[in-house]
Structure 1
């Protein structure tokens, strides 16, 4: 049976015209195993978010190379993986249109990974769900896996879960280092889906549990034109802790530079974030290392202890100074697809989706915490977080302890 035949079988099954076939054996593939199996990467490669999308492409390319050099998909006769890259642009409408083109033109994709911003992923997966195309995503929004979809699999902890795991650790660190527990907090955030989900958990649950008083809650739409009004709120209120949540590097730079200009930088008003944006390499193109020294952010994944060889390869191959979540999570997604294809023993969308639904492949290797196993909603079971801190011009993993590259410190004036 050819790869086209297997795709046709997928379509018939989706229409109810063919009963599910039983498990395939290696012998069944002795004649007609596919030479290559296509996996999609749908990420922003143009516009405001092109840089993180490009880094996701780097991680995916490394994953494809490593899987293929290790012998490809052995259950399918050593078939190699091939990456198909789709630019989803920098708006939700562009992302939706890109997803529609992807499912229409790339009919033999068995799965895809992407789409960076949760807002984009929400739009993309509305399309891929109808096409019954399994999608792995590092996007954070809780909404992604609250819609009853069957073909989305969230490898990262949700935004709400990340807040719940990360913020109490940061409050404990502040109290331990300074001898004083933070009492007040201010929030500056963009209106992307991830930031909204993060802030929802913080405001509805964590502020009460941690006995933090919210002094202000300011929201902007990217791109940020002028950070002055936002930072004036910070200067007027003087919170013990500032939660700063941008998802565009340009917005992060404007906010942090203005904090520094107003004399409110790290040590005076400790600032923490909940996105990888503030730890992107591009931050140092216009922000001096002293502006970000000590800044911490809670993220779903980061280059950490045990991944030294991958970090070195990324630096040598692409010139990247460190491994962000965008690279390591997308790299892990390729191996996860490989695992699903081995289990399915069929290069089909439904086979891959069912394999992901029933996968139980032990402790995760390329994501923090938990298992390579998904719950019925499509969330990875036990997914953890990392806390990353800028130290001497480099953002390094400082939590959890078993993955940490350095010890955390609380910034002081």
Structure 2
């Protein structure tokens, strides 16, 4: 056969093969469902960066586990994908991060973040306008008291934590000392979560508990020197003190000043609030003797029943333990998975509807204290409990509630 004839046959054949390949391309592409995008906005720079990092670790672990187990089955096995943004070190930066994310990622179905309540308040102003469902561990009551429809708070609000914690602490103090606590001191920063936490105390909670506020110090972070704040505690010697910084560096300054002034080792029992007071980073910069006995109220913590998850997390990340921040964002991603399975479509409004109607004590509910997953009309998780963690021999140990506790709460003897 002549080369000209062969060329004449190959020409149409090549064209046919090319056309077949082009027709097959959409089919091959459609065989792999489009990834479902979920946002994470947390501080990854500035004084709150460490807390942001551990938040992100939990979200990444959940995405890996979900994708490894087959992805979103209702969407043909679609994988989940994280879109991460840095909230930075200010309210303005966090809001800008949310605005960029919403503009650049129109196919987002939801998001989680941003640790600091002040930042989350700004971020959710943006996400609410975009009808983007947003899960948050942040404590401030105001997050879910604005009439928003797309904000879901997995933690007990700060006021609920405050009201729950105070009777537990005062009862414990009386059991150990044989007499009721009568005086209390407060040293706190002015971030939204800490303000919300102490608000019900200042508005009658302390009085109802029979406590007199003898030290009341509020500062704007970051601290440069904690001397005058701790000196007030030294002068008044309350039966216990609420010490509530929101950054690890400020916690270091305050705790070391407490010890320097001879108030450590239970001379003034200290109660803190927030995950920043139990991150591994704190133990790297503050020795365990200074931390010993510190009681921390948090919204979440792995306890009984979470051993396998914690071990897998430690192996995956190299972290010495799993914090509330990692556990909560791990659970948040599983909530989105559950909502996507129920909605059957990667549509943010449908996902939000599925979250509003969610009521389960299985699946993602295992990752939150109270072991039930349901949100009320404000977006607050029904039955959310406060968890008490205490530094004991260089480790943060969950000591309350009893079903999560891995140790006994010890009231420091003065």
TM-score, with length taken from structure 1: 0.91
Counterparts of residues 316-395 of structure 1 (less than 5 Å): 316-362=315-361, 364-395=365-396
- Describe the SS at the equivalent of 1:375: coil
Secondary structure at the counterpart of residue 132 of structure 1 = coil
Determine the C-alpha separation between the residues in 2 that align with 1:316 and 1:359.
Answer: 32
Paired residues of 1:266 and 1:295 also in contact (CA < 8 A)? no
Could you tell me how far apart the structure 1 residues matched to 2:194 and 2:286 are? 23
Other-structure match for 2:97? 98
Provide the residue aligned with 2:5 in structure 1.
none
Give the Cα–Cα distance (whole angstroms) in 1 for the partners of residues 248 and 48 of structure 2.
8
Taking the aligned partners of 1:216 and 1:178, their CA distance within structure 2 comes to 21
Q: Which deviates more from structure 2 when the two are superposed, residues 289-298 or residues 71-80?
A: 71-80
| 1:299-351 C-alpha deviation (Å, 9 max, x unpaired) | 00012111111211221121111111110000000100001101111101101
RMSD: 1.2
- Counterpart CA distance in 2 for 1:205 and 1:79 is 51
Quote the Cα distance in structure 1 between the aligned partners of 2:285 and 2:228: 21
Secondary structure of the 2:250 match is: helix
1:371 positional shift: 2.0
How many pairs align? 383
Q: Note if contact 1:128-1:134 (Cα within 8 Å) is conserved in structure 2.
A: yes
What CA deviation, in whole Å up to 9, does each residue of 1:149-169 have, x standing for no partner? Answer: 001000110000011111211
Query: 1:33, CA displacement in angstroms?
Result: 7.9
Instruction: Write the distance in 2 (CA, Å) between the matches of 1:400 and 1:134.
Output: 30
Q: Distance in 2 between matches of 1:287 and 1:81?
A: 38
Please list every run of 5 or more consecutive structure 2 residues that lacks an aligned counterpart in the other structure: 1-29
Using the TM superposition, give the Cα deviation of residue 198 of structure 1 relative to its aligned residue in structure 2, in angstroms: 0.5
Q: Tell me how far 1:127 sits from its aligned partner.
A: 0.5
Matches within 5 A, 1:41-56: 41-56=40-55
Distance in 1 (alpha carbons) for counterparts of 2:204 and 2:297:
17
Q: Secondary structure at the match of 1:365?
A: helix
Aligned partner of 1:26 in structure 2 is: none
For residues 16-45 of structure 1, the C-alpha deviation after alignment (integer angstroms, 9 at most, x for no partner) is xxxxxxxxxxxxxxx788331001111111
Runs of 4+ residues deviating >4 angstroms:
none
Aligned equivalents of 2:408 and 2:109: distance in 1? 42
Pair 1:225-2:203 in alignment: no
Provide the C-alpha distance between the structure 1 equivalents of 2:192 and 2:227, rounded to a whole number of angstroms. 24
Q: Deviations over 1:338-370 (max 9, x none)?
A: 011011111011011111111112252101015
Q: CA deviation at 1:75?
A: 1.1
- 1:286 Cα offset (Å): 2.3
Give deviations 1:64-104, integer Å, cap 9, x for gaps. 01111222111111111111111111100000000000000
* Structure (1 or 2) with the greater helix fraction: 2
CA contact (8 A) 1:61 1:83 kept: yes
For residue 19 of structure 1, what is the aligned residue in structure 2? none
Tell me whether 1:244 sits opposite 2:239 in the alignment.
no
Q: Return the offset for 1:392.
A: 0.4
The whole-number CA distance in structure 1 between the counterparts of 2:283 and 2:380 is 34
Q: Residues of 1 paired with 2:283 and 2:123: CA distance?
A: 31
- Do the aligned residues in 2 keep the contact of 1:359 with 1:374 (CA within 8 Å)? yes
Give SS of 1:119's match. helix
Aligned equivalent of 1:8: none
Of the structure 1 ranges 277-286 and 169-178, higher mean CA displacement relative to structure 2 is found in 277-286
Measure, in 1, the Cα distance between the counterparts of 2:371 and 2:217. Answer: 34
* TM-score after normalising by structure 2: 0.91
- Structure number with greater Rg is 2
Alignment of 1:69-80 (within 5 A): 69-80=68-79
Q: Distance in 2 between matches of 1:32 and 1:152?
A: 34
- Structure 1 residues 283, 294: closer, same or farther in 2, change over 3 A? same
1:343 and 1:314 map into 2 onto residues whose CA distance is 27
Asked if structure 2 preserves the Cα contact closer than 8 Å seen for 1:33 and 1:76, the reply is no
Structure 1 portions without partners, runs of 5+: 1-30
CA contact (8 A) 1:186 1:215 kept: yes
Partner of 1:7: none
| Farther off after superposition, 208-217 or 387-396 | 208-217
Tell me if structure 2 keeps the 8 A contact 1:165–1:385.
yes
Alpha-carbon separation, structure 2, partners of 1:101 and 1:286 = 35
Closer/same/farther in 2, CA of residues 396 and 126 from structure 1, 3 Å limit: same
**Residue matched to 2:214:** 215
Q: Aligned runs of 1:71-220 on 2, under 5 Å? A: 71-220=70-219
Alignment-derived partner of residue 276 in structure 1: 275
3-state SS, counterpart of residue 242 of structure 1 = strand
